[in-house]
Amino acid sequence: SQKIEQNSEALNIQEGKTATLTCNYTNYSPAYLQWYRQDPGRGPVFLLLIRENEKEKRKERLKVTFDTTLKQSLFHITASQPADSATYLCALATNNAGNMLTFGGGTRLMVKP
């Protein structure tokens, strides 16, 4: 079965720096991969979706890369702000139909002023 790994340790960075979070998976490459943000006591919020034929995708200060050879996605937040502090989850489909999302354990990001 597909296993999704995210760094369970919190990532602490200084405001203004670039945060880079990693998502690794073990088996077949999914058709697409998604990233979500979750704040304490709230539901996850969708951020970006990247397809297997896309190497990179950007949205404002966010950038996602998808390397099917390495079986890895990187999530970057440039010019980070304290308001970016949250847990970030990656998710990929694990069924043939492509609509059953399995989530990684998430990485907590702390941006210090």
Partner 1 sequence: DAGVIQSPRHEVTEMGQEVTLRCKPISGHDYLFWYRQTMMRGLELLIYFNNNVPIDDSGMPEDRFSAKMPNASFSTLKIQPSEPRDSAVYFCASSPRHTGELFFGEGSRLTVL
Kindly list the residues in this chain that would bind partner 1 in the complex (CB under 8 A). Answer: 31-32, 34, 36, 41-46, 49, 89, 93, 95, 97-106
Shortest distance (Å) from residue 89 CB to partner 1: 7
Shortest distance (Å) from residue 98 CB to partner 1: 5
Within 8 A by CB and 6+ apart from 60, the residues are: none
Q: Residue 93, SS3?
A: strand
Q: Closer to partner 1 at the Cβ: 31 or 79?
A: 31
How many other C-beta atoms can be found within 10 angstroms of the C-beta atom of residue 47? 17
Shortest distance (Å) from residue 15 CB to partner 1: 28
β-partners of residue 14 are: 112
